[in-house]
Amino acid sequence: MKKQLREFLKDTIRQTVDFSATKQNLGYPPPPVQKPLPPGAEVVPLPRREEWKSIGDLSVAEGIARRHSVRKYLPSALSKEELAFLLWATQGVRGEADPVRMFRTVPSAGCRHPFETYLALFRVEGFEKGIYRYLPVEHALLFLGCPPGLEEKASRAALNQPFAGKSAVTFFWTALPERTEWRYSEASVKVIALDAGHVCQNLYLACEVIGAGACAIAAYSQEDADALVGVDSEDEFVLYMASLGKV
């Protein structure tokens, strides 16, 4: 079993994939770069990079030097600009939004970008508490509702790690494997996991710029996390989480 699971970390599987039979090479259109919006969706636009006034310019070297995991947060709120910056840094669109291949602020194998970003948002100026989904194409947030006891539910989703419910915001990244499988078939699993690391590292670095701290969370309850953000656990499921707040 252990040996079998370790194979996941190798690239041996690539040699077994018949790339002539991938959906891409069979001529199927790629899955959408972003989950479609439900009809009548309530979308809140976020300030764009060229409009930001309060985001400082910490050097990359300083950000890397300072980065560390933070599990205790001040009760202060993030500003809307700060949240917009964190979302842009982790999954934002770089250049023109293209319906087939959209470049973002993070790298992704084959430019497939298999993630959606959900937030358990507790303290951000101008936003009511609740669950939101980031829309990279529109650079906006979609409000999905506010289940009762959101703090407890976020913490329970993180296997009772309390800081996940005491943050200003807790990020939930879901994977939609089909986006990557369209190009890489069975060789997708490892690269999807690799892709997630870049996203979270950018969150850590961006937090340093705004006087916040983050903590990556991979110990979570699959069932509770998927239920909280409202995904089916089959074609879309939570892969990684991170909480953050002012320090």
Ligand X SMILES: Cc1cc2nc3c(=O)[nH]c(=O)nc-3n(C[C@H](O)[C@H](O)[C@H](O)COP(=O)(O)O)c2cc1C
Shortest Å, Cβ 64 to ligand X: 11
Query: E-assigned strands of 21-86?
Result: 43-45
173 contacts 136 by C-beta, under 8 angstroms: no
Which listed range, 73-81, 131-139, 171-179, 210-218, lies at the site for ligand X (CB under 6 A)? 210-218
Shortest Å, Cβ 42 to ligand X: 32
Which listed range, 110-118, 135-143, 211-219, 221-229, lies at the site for ligand X (CB under 6 A)? 211-219
243 contacts 217 by C-beta, under 8 angstroms: yes
The continuous run of DSSP H or E covering 88 comes out as helix 80-91
**218 scored as a contact of ligand X (CB under 6 A):** yes
Nearer to ligand X, 107 or 126 (CB): 107
Which listed range, 20-28, 37-45, 65-73, 83-91, lies at the site for ligand X (CB under 6 A)? 65-73
Nearer to ligand X, 71 or 198 (CB): 71
Please state the φ and ψ torsions of residue 208, each to the nearest 5 degrees.
-60, -35
Looking at 219, 222, 233, 235, which residue binds ligand X (CB under 6 A)? 219
With the CA atoms of 42, 47, 50 and 54 taken in that order, what torsion angle do they form, in degrees rounded to the nearest 10? Answer: -170
DSSP 172-199: EEEE-THHHHHHHGGGHHHHHHHHHHHH
Residue in the structure block whose two tokens are 């959906």 = 23
Residue in the structure block whose two tokens are 């703090």 = 151
Site string for ligand X, 13-52 (x = CB under 6 A): ----------------------------------------
Residues making contact with ligand X (CB under 6 A): 68-69, 71, 161, 215-219
